[in-house]
Amino acid sequence: MNTWNRTSSLPARVIPAALAGMLVSALAVSTLGAQSTPASRERHAIRFERPRAVGSRYRIEVSGEKTIRMEQRGAAAPVRDERTVVRMVAVERIVAVNAMGEPTNSEYTVETFEVERGGTRVTALARGTVFLLERATTPDGQARITVGGAPVAADIADALAVVVSRKVSAVSDDEVFGSTNPRRVGERWNINAAVAQRELAANGLTEVRLRGEVRAVELATVDSLPCLVLSANMTGRLGAIPNMPSVATFVSGTIETTHRGAFPTDGTSRPPTTEMTMGLDATFTVNAGAGQPVQTFHMVITDSRNEHATLLP
């Protein structure tokens, strides 16, 4: 009897959702193509939240990768080994925002949308396709993605999840990564782990202890915008995985995220480029009973994303 068939939907359903909530939203911005400027002793306000205006338009160039690998101890081949690479170029129009100015609904007009799975690359959405993304605003909510009012196919929705955020967090980036004091280049400060842990708990991960820090790296010019480059890391040790079936027992697990951001010093402009990585590593056992041996599984899920956004007139 293949006991994994009874539990294979758990990691695909529960863990990615928890990881999505864990990030509290994309904070990171790369300095790809940026020009460094001399460091100064000047202090800069730390502002991660950059409210968007309804009707504003951005050209988005984004690539992402998601891998899921599951191994059974003693097995010659992995139980699951998947890699999805997505590249999208599109114009985003902000349709609705919440009280913090975070987009809840966005309309995308596709220029390029390519998906690679199993070594095969396909054009999943044709040039000119317009889709509406209505983001989930509650921890247990589901995003709605439609083309012409009809929901997109499940595999398209899964691919879009690799490159666009499908959830709006009730917690702001400033609450987790921010600083109440202005900071100089070179300074470091701790994340607000308690707030981040509450956000994780709202997404089902109630037994996790986090730590991390943020660093003001340098001043740089990105797309002609003077920016303060910030980097952040967050790591945590899991005490459990939610909603595991009765035949499965959690053994150990860790989560880790890394971010880098070049935030325009005007305090309002959207970061022009973003990058982030996140990962989960977990071990658990499955006991099918009936005299069968206990099986041990090791699962690793990783996500990465790089984005360039240009404000359009």
Residue pointed to by tokens 């595999």: 155
Which of 143, 106, 110, 134 lies closest to 124, judged by CA? Answer: 110
Q: What is the mean pLDDT of residues 75-91?
A: 95
CB 44 within 8 A of CB 265: yes
Summarised one tens digit per residue, pLDDT across range 206-237 is 788 999 999 999 999 999 999 999 999 999 99
pLDDT at 202 over 90: no
pLDDT classification of 33: cutoffs 50, 70, 90: very low
Which of 197, 263, 198, 253 lies closest to 230, judged by CA? Answer: 263
What confidence score (pLDDT) does residue 35 get?
A: 56
pLDDT at 245 over 80: yes
pLDDT at 169 over 60: yes
pLDDT at 59 over 90: yes
Select the highest-mean-pLDDT range: 57-71, 156-170, 288-302: 57-71
Strand partners, 71: 298
pLDDT classification of 178: cutoffs 50, 70, 90: very high
Query: Residue 239: what are its φ and ψ, rounded to 5°?
Result: -105, -10
Environment class of 116 (CB within 10 Å of its CB; exposed 0-12, middle 13-18, buried 19+):
middle
What confidence score (pLDDT) does residue 217 get?
A: 94
What is the tally of helices (H) and strands (E) in the chain? 4, 14
Above pLDDT 70, what percent of the chain?
A: 87
Which of 246, 256, 236, 247 lies closest to 300, judged by CA? Answer: 256
The two three-digit tokens of residue 129, written as one number: 């396709």
What confidence score (pLDDT) does residue 115 get?
A: 98
Above pLDDT 90, what percent of the chain?
A: 68
Q: What is the mean pLDDT of residues 241-260?
A: 90
Q: What is the mean pLDDT of residues 307-313?
A: 94
Q: Which residue has the higher pLDDT, 29 or 244?
A: 244
Q: What is the mean pLDDT of residues 273-285?
A: 93
This prediction has a pTM of: 0.82
The two three-digit tokens of residue 28, written as one number: 């990171």
